[in-house]
A = this chain, B = another copy of it.
Amino acid sequence: MALLSKEQLRLMLSENLEKHAAYKAKGLKLDMSRGKPSVSQLDLCGDMLVNVSEESGVKSGDGTDTRNYGMPEGLPEIKNLFARILELPAENVLVGGNSSLNLMFDVFAQAMSVGMPGCEPWAKQGKIKFICPVPGYDRHFSVCEYFGIEMINVEMTPNGPDMDAVEKLAADGSVKGMWCVPKYSNPDGCVYSDETVRRIASLKPAAKDFRVFWDNAYCMHDLYDTSEPLLPIFKACLEAGNPEMVIQFASTSKISFAGAGVSAVAAGDENIRHIKKRLFIQTIGHDKINQLRHARRFPDIDVVKAHMKRHAAIIRPKFELLYGLFTREFGGNGLISWTEPKGGYFMSVDVMEGCAKRVAGLCADAGVVLTPAGATYPYGKDPRDRNIRIAPTVPPIEELEQAAEIFCVAVKIASAEKLLGR
């Protein structure tokens, strides 16, 4: 910031206000707000819509008629697939419906109303708290808020959450757990380091009913041929003698169909037994026909890996467009800092303190929808009003380019205003 003179700032402001007015006049409608796949990504699984039919048969490998009731744990094929993806035994996996968020919510609901194994219901324990690495995923925070659980911010680092802070907080018995998106974290795209994973697996929280919610949403979602390695948490937990510390979640929402994938929850024996107790009361079974569609389309993890390269080919250029543009526009001038994730669905931009809402507002005026400023923090409150999540996957690349340019214009206006004290 020191690099720009007042003169330069005034020029930057006037130039970009002019550009902003021109964009505004165009009446654009562009969206970089949500981590959704684009139409061409959804088209990759068109064949899956009809791969279970009267002709191809409706039975799973073990002879189960997938159309009828039953099998609340899920088809063996899908349990095995998630076991490979999450690197744990298939008996530690339960298959869900189309939404892993729903599985997370249900584990919270279970903890609230009947408690974690052998513990009092959270609803009866008075004020309880949850650790939320920030910036993080707004829907995670909404779950805590819905149940009246107080959220405590912990800063993300390039290696994952600040573990010194986490370990300190976990020593408080009213702290009941932590949210994690360990790979290509939402929104900053970081991958937890081996040390972070080991420290999480080795936590010795005061509360017996403390659980880490390990939302491995992007475990297969590399943008490049080489995957950023993530230490398997289940093994780390076993090694630390902490098999029930972590509950994992994953889904095919960004592998097959965002609205019609299959999800899974995976955890230690005791947690799984506990979750099963609820599951078997809650439903006679999730949609097995859809599980069979997935089993046929993705018979093993290698097919998933090959498939994810096709997704990457569609969305990598979108990410790289942003990385390149930001480097050209802001490289070295210090107005913003940003992450360049090698996978996932988001990148995170920190603008100058106190400028995020202004940037989002300017973008909105010019027809560009961003995730609301503040959404990456609990209660929607970014204490420094500086973080913005960018979701580049939905718009076609020409629209993304225009939206990103408008974003840059907005950042320059807001920064100049701030630096000029206006």
Contact = CB atoms under 8 A, between A and B. Distances in A.
A206 interface: no
Best-surrounded residue of A52, A53, A146 (most CB of chain B within 10 A): A146
A221 interface: no
A184 to B, nearest CB: 18
A286 interface: yes
A289 B147 CA distance: 30
A67 B282 CA distance: 26
Best-surrounded residue of A105, A113, A285 (most CB of chain B within 10 A): A113
Given A42-B65, A65-B39, A112-B123, A260 B288 contact: yes
A116 B39 CA distance: 40
A290 interface: yes
Interface residues of A, number: 59
A288 B277 CA distance: 28
Nearest to A70: B259
Taken together, the copies of this chain in the complex come to 2
A123 B58 CA distance: 42
A283 B36 contact: no
A242 to B, nearest CB: 27
B283 A66 contact: no
A349 to B, nearest CB: 23
A31 interface: no
Contact of A68 (B36, B66, B139): B36
Interface string A318-353: 000000000000000000000000000000000000
Interface stretch (A95-103, A359-367, A371-379): A95-103
Interface in A47-106: 47, 49-50, 52-54, 58, 65-71, 97-99, 101-102, 105-106
Nearest to A64: B259
Contacts of A232: none
A124 interface: yes
Interface string A102-123: 1001100110111000000101
A240 interface: no
Interface string A23-42: 00000000000101101001
A419 interface: no
A287 to B, nearest CB: 5
Interface in A220-278: 253, 257-260, 277-278
Contacts of A47: 54
A273 B43 CA distance: 35
Nearest to A54: B46
A333 B258 CA distance: 61
Contact of A113 (B54, B113, B282): B113
A285 B37 CA distance: 15
B289 A69 contact: no
Nearest to A71: B259
A284 interface: yes
Best-surrounded residue of A39, A49, A288 (most CB of chain B within 10 A): A49
A260 B284 contact: no
A11 B260 CA distance: 62
A99 B45 CA distance: 25
A146 B278 contact: yes
A193 interface: no
B283 A67 contact: no
A143 B281 contact: yes
13 contacts: A42-B58, A49-B52, A99-B282, A99-B286, A109-B109, A112-B112, A112-B113, A124-B124, A257-B289, A258-B284, A259-B287, A287-B290, A290-B290
Given A69-B253, A105-B281, A123-B124, 9 more contacts: A49-B52, A49-B53, A49-B54, A67-B258, A99-B285, A102-B282, A102-B283, A109-B109, A259-B285
